[in-house]
Amino acid sequence: MSPRTVSISCGLLAVACTREPAPGTVVDACAISYGEPADAPLSNSGPGAPQVTFDAEQLMQRCAFLDGGEEDVYDHHNLLSMYDGYLLMPWAPEWGGGGLTLWDVSDPCDPIVVGSGTSDRMRETHAIGYAFEGGQWAVTNYIGGFDEGGAQFWDLSDSSAPIEVSTLHLDGFFYPDAYARVTLSVFWQDPYVFAGGSDNGVYVIDAGDPRSPELVQQLIFEPIMRVGQVQAVGNLLIVTEAEGARTVLLDISDPTDPRPIAGGDFLIHDGEGTTREAYFSNLGGGYVYYARKDGGGGIIIYDVHDPGAPAYVGDVSSEGNGGYVFIKDDLAFVGESSFAAIYDISDPTSPTPVSDAFLLQGDLDTMTPISNFVVLSVDDEANRDEGSAIVPFEAEPDTQGPRVTWAWPSDGAEALPISSRFGVTFSEMVDPKSAHVNSVRLYRADEGPGQGGVAARISVQENVVNLVPSCDLEPDTTYTLEVSAGGVTDFSGNPVEATFQAQLTTGAL
């Protein structure tokens, strides 16, 4: 497939299937017979995030440091995640050379390395996505020289030895400018990866075979937009600017040909109406949370429940300089460069500070919530072997399961393209292997899950789970998207308590 380069001026644009064998198995290319929600095709090797109670004197104190090993000489760290029941940390400087390291955190203050894989081509990565078609895969950033870089794919089937399996060069990549023409983020909505390419726009990569990914399109924005974060949820792609104020919302019902949504190109502002720049963003519950970096730090919140009418909701400022933001339940966790802060977002119209007492030597841009502790990470000027630190922030263990906070397309949507994909956001990051065809389902509403199941690819990135049907849907047909109780879990193994459903109807051919 030959890639296409498309320029878009966003600001100017206001199969029938047979069924029936064993549960949890694909009947043909289109249909599936579902098993129980907790019947995961893949199980975790590790124990997951611990159910640990911390003493009062342990709270807000660093109790362990994380280091990638002898080759992690620069201690440039960003986000972390949990994978296969272990804490997973990508580590690499912006000029390349890094890897993935996994820890058993049964005792979070005494983490034990269980595996590590290195690559001299891995680049500082701000996002990591997971997919499971034909294996266990992850995607990060890579660099191969001043004019070579893009996306890198890893085989995670053995957590004791993650292996780089392929890289894909993206035209236009150029370093040493760390922001102008490099890959700043990747998002995997299997089988496609969307890569935020800074001034080069958004790249669409066919990663159906991660061993041999292919570029299928590059979107160049007019005027030029310095793309930082990209996130896909169902038919919607959210593109936000790095160190800028612009956001563009795209329809990706055909992911090879993303289209601007009328009204979905906007500049963010604060409560006084002043346009403000953000460093990076994140998505949760139909809201975009921006880590503000203009005139101070803090967060700015926008409502994108209706992508054609995004709206300012609330903001709070700080003395910091925002980096990255992550959401867990009613809290936002923000790296502010010289410190990290937690904000209460239970009322998004009035976010309020909870604590700014998190400190770590270096450029503290990232604070990742994991159960009742956080991991602080710096991506420059760290003390040797202290690029990341574990800090308990709540005494009691996390016993609350994740909740579905938003779905796109939304409940009741009609006239959907038969090529539609479906996504949900959760109240916190979820265990990647707990999201699968038995726990996140799509089926014909008139036949139910027993007979009407749709075979699909499931992919997970942080708090977003996407379901992409394996073939086109039937026209003029109502489907039920279901996240079943007892299936998807958080990092601590707490399951979704209440079943979520959305009714979605396709249009005519």
- Count how many residues are written for the chain: 509
Q: What does the pLDDT look like over 386-423, one tens digit per residue?
A: 999 999 999 999 999 999 999 999 999 999 999 999 99
Which one is predicted more confidently, 188 or 3? 188
pLDDT band of residue 252 (cuts 50, 70, 90) is: very high
What are the two backbone dihedrals, phi and then psi, of residue 448, each rounded to the nearest 5 degrees? 80, 175
* Any domain includes 69: no
> Which of 339, 373, 392 lies at the terminal end of a domain, its last residue?
392
pLDDT band of residue 8 (cuts 50, 70, 90) is: low
Q: What does the pLDDT look like over 109-132, one tens digit per residue?
A: 999 999 999 999 999 999 999 999
Q: 223 and 89 share a domain?
A: yes
Q: 367 and 427 share a domain?
A: no
Distance CA 477, CA 127 (A): 36
Mean pLDDT computed over 267-280: 98
Residue ranges with strand state E in 277-393: 278-284, 287-292, 297-303, 311-318, 325-328, 331-335, 340-344, 352-358, 364-370, 373-378, 388-392
* Any domain includes 66: no
Name the residue range of residue 292's domain.
Answer: 82-392
Joined together, the tokens standing for residue 496 give 């979704």
Q: 30 and 163 share a domain?
A: no
Mean pLDDT computed over 324-344: 98
Q: 180 and 326 share a domain?
A: yes
Mean pLDDT computed over 433-456: 95
pLDDT band of residue 450 (cuts 50, 70, 90) is: confident
pLDDT for 23 beyond 90: no
Q: 336 and 467 share a domain?
A: no
Q: 371 and 407 share a domain?
A: no
How many distinct structural domains can be found in the chain?
A: 2
Mean pLDDT computed over 494-501: 98
- Rounded-to-10 torsion of CA 449, 453, 456, 460: 0
Q: 372 and 325 share a domain?
A: yes
- At residue 21, the pLDDT reads 44
How far are the Cα atoms of 276, 286, 305, 366 from residue 316, in angstroms, in the given order? 12, 19, 21, 18
pLDDT for 7 beyond 70: no
- At residue 3, the pLDDT reads 62
- At residue 433, the pLDDT reads 98
- At residue 29, the pLDDT reads 79
- Average model confidence (pLDDT) for the chain? 94
- At residue 141, the pLDDT reads 97
pLDDT for 181 beyond 70: yes
Q: 347 and 451 share a domain?
A: no
Q: 148 and 282 share a domain?
A: yes
- At residue 6, the pLDDT reads 57
What are the two backbone dihedrals, phi and then psi, of residue 67, each rounded to the nearest 5 degrees? -140, 145
Q: What does the pLDDT look like over 73-107, one tens digit per residue?
A: 999 999 999 999 999 999 999 999 999 999 999 99
Joined together, the tokens standing for residue 383 give 């003390």
CA-only gyration radius of the chain, Å: 21
Please report, for the domain that includes residue 351, its CATH number: 2.130.10.10
pLDDT band of residue 13 (cuts 50, 70, 90) is: very low
Joined together, the tokens standing for residue 456 give 């699909």
Mean pLDDT computed over 161-174: 98
pLDDT band of residue 298 (cuts 50, 70, 90) is: very high
Q: 336 and 440 share a domain?
A: no
> Which of 366, 392, 418 lies at the terminal end of a domain, its last residue?
392
pLDDT band of residue 379 (cuts 50, 70, 90) is: very high
Mean pLDDT computed over 316-324: 96
pLDDT for 24 beyond 90: no
pLDDT for 183 beyond 70: yes
Contact predicate 320/297, CB 8 Å: yes
